[in-house]
Structure 1
C-alpha cells in the first residue's frame, strides 16, 4: 500500500490563514453593524470601525474597498440570515397545512429579528441606501422562491390555475414590508422597539386572508 505523504507546510498554513481572514472580515462587519445605530452611516468612520473590530486600517482595505463596500456586504449577509431561517422552517414543515407552514415561517423570521432591533432597523434603512438594484432584486427573488417552495409543499396546496409565483411574491411582500417598516420606525425614533411576535401575527392574518381568497371556489 502506498504510504500517504505528510501535509506540506503550505497546506498546514492555508486553513488557519483562511480562518483568520474570515474572522477579520466578520469582526469588521459586526463592528460596523454595532456602531451604525449610534453613529449613523454618514458620520461613521472607517477608523471607528477598525477600532471596535480590533483590526488596523490595512486589514480593512484587504477586504473592503471602502465603507460603502462594507455596508453592501453586511446588508447581503444579514439578508442571508433571514433566508437561512426561512429555509430551515420550510424544510421542517414539508407536507403540513398551509396555515402551519405560514405560521412556522413567520415565527422563524420573528426569532431571527428578536435580538438587536436597532441593528435590524439600521439594516433595513441602509439596504435602501447602498444596495445595487440588481443585487437587491436578486435577493428579493430568492425570498420569493423560498415562499413558492413552501406553498408548493403544503398538504393543501393552491388549486390548479392559481399563480404560485404571484402568491409567493405577495407573501414575501407582506412579511418584508411589515418587519422592515416596524424596525425602520424604531430606528428612526418614531416608535419603540417592535414586538416581533405581534409583527408576525399581523403578517399571518394578512397572508392567510389573502391565501384563503385564492383557494376559495
Structure 2
C-alpha cells in the first residue's frame, strides 16, 4: 500500500504586515495631534507630519487621501477614547446608584483628558472644523446611548427607555460642554488650563442637579 504523505502545513496569514500597517497609521495620527497645538491645522503640512511620524509621503497616501481625511480619522478615534472610558467605568460599577454612576463617568472623562491636555483643546477645535454633520450626529448618538445605558442600569435609575434617553441627551450636553469649552479656552489662550478636579466638580453639580429636578418633574413632585 502506498504511504500517504502528511498534508502540507496551513498557510500562515501575514499578520505582521497588517500590524505594521496599523502602526504606521497610528504613527501618522499621533504625529498629527502632537503637531496640531504648535502649528495649527491650516499651517501644518503633510511633510511635517510624515517627518515626525518617521514615514514617507508614499506611506501617508496609502492610508489617507489628504490632511482633512487624517483629521477626521484622528477626531473619530479620540472621541472613541472617551466612549470607551465611559463604558468601562459603568461596567465596573453595575448596580450602583445613579449618583455614583454619574460620578464615575465624569471621573473617567476627567482622567481621559489628563493625557496631553493641549491636544484635547486642538481636538475639540478640529471637531468643529472637519466633522461632517452625519458623522457628528452618529458620534453624538453614541455618547447619548452610553449615558442612557448608565441611567437605565442604575439601581435607582430611569427604567423608562424614553425618559432615560431624554435625560441622557441633557447629561451629555452638560458634560461635553463643560469639558470641551474648558479645553478650547486653554487652547485658544482665552482662559487658563482647566483643572480636572474643578471641571469634574462643576459637571457633577450640573448633571446631578438636572437629574434631581428631572426625576422630581416626572414624578410630579414640587421642583424648586
TM-score range (shorter-chain normalised) is: over 0.9
- Count of matched residue pairs: 213
Change in 2 beyond 3 A, CA 1:3/1:124: farther
Match of residue 43 from structure 2: 43
CA contact (8 A) 1:162 1:214 kept: no
Which of the pair has more CA radius of gyration? 2
Match of residue 185 from structure 2: 185
Match of residue 34 from structure 1: 34
Match of residue 129 from structure 1: 129
For 1:5 and 1:86, the matched residues in 2 are separated by: 48
Higher relative CO (CA 8 A, sep ≥ 6), structure 1 or 2?
A: 1
Match of residue 75 from structure 1: 75
Structure 1: gaps spanning 5 or more residues:
none
Match of residue 148 from structure 1: 148
Report whether the alignment pairs 1:90 with 2:86.
no
- RMSD after superposition: 1.6
Change in 2 beyond 3 A, CA 1:159/1:115: closer
For 2:203 and 2:19, the matched residues in 1 are separated by: 39
What are the superposed Cα offsets for residues 168-215 of structure 1, whole Å, 9 maximum, x if unpaired?
Answer: 000000000000000000000112211112111111100111111122
Structure 2: gaps spanning 5 or more residues:
none
**Which runs of structure 2 are paired with 1:9-20 in the superposition (5 Å)?**
11-12=12-13, 14-20=14-20
Match of residue 105 from structure 1: 105
TM-score by length of 1: 0.94
CA contact (8 A) 1:87 1:146 kept: yes
Match of residue 7 from structure 1: 10
For 2:138 and 2:162, the matched residues in 1 are separated by: 24
The alpha-carbon deviation at position 7 of structure 1 amounts to 3.4
For 2:99 and 2:169, the matched residues in 1 are separated by: 17
For 2:61 and 2:137, the matched residues in 1 are separated by: 28
The alpha-carbon deviation at position 5 of structure 1 amounts to 4.4
CA contact (8 A) 1:37 1:119 kept: yes
The alpha-carbon deviation at position 161 of structure 1 amounts to 9.4
For 1:208 and 1:182, the matched residues in 2 are separated by: 19
Change in 2 beyond 3 A, CA 1:173/1:56: same
CA contact (8 A) 1:158 1:214 kept: no
For 2:140 and 2:23, the matched residues in 1 are separated by: 27
Which of 154-163 and 173-182 deviates more? 154-163
